[in-house]
Amino acid sequence: MRYSYQREAIKKVVKGTNFHPTADWIYNQTKKIISQKICLGTVYRNLKQLSKDGEIKQFMMVILHGTIGISNLMII
């Protein structure tokens, strides 16, 4: 894999946390430490590559906003 300052910055952010960050959180933190622009797609691509290379582990999370109801469900 070719060297990328963006990938190194992303890796630094991820390894500097003590929780499971979201890609959005990583994106916002990475923007703060590199002088050049970075896009969210770059973060996703680099996270995928870092996971593939075994440098980080990927966890799938489901985040629900609001409430879930079944008030309109009819059981026959």
Q: What confidence score (pLDDT) does residue 20 get?
A: 86
Q: What confidence score (pLDDT) does residue 61 get?
A: 72
Residue-wise pLDDT tens digits, 35-47: 778 999 999 999 9
Q: What is the spatial distance between Cα 46 and Cα 11, in angstroms, rounded to a whole number?
A: 9
Mean predicted confidence (pLDDT) in 24-41: 92
Q: What is the spatial distance between Cα 53 and Cα 19, in angstroms, rounded to a whole number?
A: 21
The residues spanned by each domain of the chain are 1-76
To the question of domain 1-76 being in CATH 1.10.10.10, the answer is yes
Mean predicted confidence (pLDDT) in 18-23: 90
